[in-house]
Amino acid sequence: MEINDIYSVIFKRKSIRKYDLSPLDDDDLKKIEDHIDHLTPLYSDIKIDIKIVSANDVKTKFIMKKAPHYLAMFSEVKEDYLTNVGFMLQQMDLILSSMGIGTCWQEIPNLTTKALKLSKLKFIILLAFGKPLEPLYRESISEFKRKPLQKISNFDGDEALLEPSRLAPSATNNQPWFFTGNDNIIHIYSIKPNILKSILLKRTIPIDIGIAMYHLKVAAEHFNKNFEIVFDKTSEKNGYIYYASMNLE
């Protein structure tokens, strides 16, 4: 997959909630499995499993529509594992969208008891996918309901680097990220949630930050930046939770 193809998908991708429940053909499923095998981790020392499961393996809740397929993400539980989950599964979100396949992050549904045994690691979250029964892409960037850059950063540099992260999906469209820095270094934070959000979104905020970090990586590659993701606790900032920094050249 060419990085420029993935970059362009960011500006039109949307969550799909209505699917044709007929399964994808075997060739597409094989391509998806191949992509899973070549994902880039944020933390290479955290073990993960991603399994393709069917609608019969998923216990949906409320009035949530089913999809024909899901990526079930399992992970070793250790420091920053949820951020790693977001970083890795968002790669598949964009790849699937570039293949003409609809996707939607689903945090609420769980796996059946049988499907939970597919991995020895902890089940984390699902990404629904299949043939869409609604338009796959947004027609313009104006369709995104996102905060302006001024609300999510005090970045002193080329704002084009942050635009892909601004457009990233997040649980309940919470958009918890905040960026500081300049053209040489970008620091990635989440806004400290209030008491209610800290209860409801405690698990999803680190995943959302991982998603935004992957979009930032795609942007750096698109603009031919040499970059390194580093973790420097001296960059902690009052009122925010520090996650990582990206050194740029």
Per-chain mean pLDDT for the chain: 94
Domain layout of the chain by residue ranges: 3-132, 149-248
pLDDT exceeds cutoff 80 at 14: yes
Q: What is the pLDDT of residues 68-101, one digit of tens each?
A: 999 999 999 999 999 999 999 999 999 999 999 9
pLDDT exceeds cutoff 90 at 235: no
Mean pLDDT over residues 139-150, rounded? 96
Q: What pTM, to 2 d.p., does this model score?
A: 0.95
Task: Give the position of tokens 């905020």.
Answer: 205
Q: What percent of the chain has pLDDT over 90?
A: 86
CB-based contacts of 237: which residues, under 8 Å, 6+ apart? 180, 187, 189
Helix (H) or strand (E) holding 151: helix 149-152
pLDDT exceeds cutoff 90 at 4: no
Asked whether the domain spanning 149-248 has the same topology as the one spanning 3-132, the reply is yes
Mean pLDDT over residues 147-169, rounded? 96
pLDDT exceeds cutoff 60 at 227: yes
Q: Report pLDDT for 119.
A: 98
Q: Report pLDDT for 199.
A: 82
Mean pLDDT over residues 148-172, rounded? 95
Q: Report pLDDT for 36.
A: 98
Q: Could you please report the per-residue DSSP string of 166-226?
A: HT---GGG---EEEEEBSSEEEEEEEPP-HHHHHHSTTHHHHHHHHHHHHHHHHHHHTT--
Per-residue confidence band for 3, with pLDDT thresholds at 50, 70 and 90: low
Determine whether 166 is exposed, middle or buried from the number of CB atoms within 10 Å of its CB (0-12, 13-18, 19+): buried
CB-based contacts of 197: which residues, under 8 Å, 6+ apart? 174
Helix (H) or strand (E) holding 96: helix 81-98
Most confident of the following: 35-44, 56-65, 194-203: 35-44
CATH architecture of 3-132: 3-Layer(aba) Sandwich (3.40)
Q: Report pLDDT for 194.
A: 84
Q: Report pLDDT for 198.
A: 78
CA 181/CA 152 separation, integer angstroms: 12
Q: What is the pLDDT of residues 167-209, one digit of tens each?
A: 999 999 999 999 999 999 999 999 988 888 878 888 999 999 9
pLDDT exceeds cutoff 60 at 1: no
Q: What percent of the chain has pLDDT over 70?
A: 97
CB-based contacts of 217: which residues, under 8 Å, 6+ apart? 227, 229, 246
Q: Report pLDDT for 24.
A: 98
Q: Report pLDDT for 58.
A: 95
Fold observed for domain 149-248: NADH Oxidase (3.40.109)
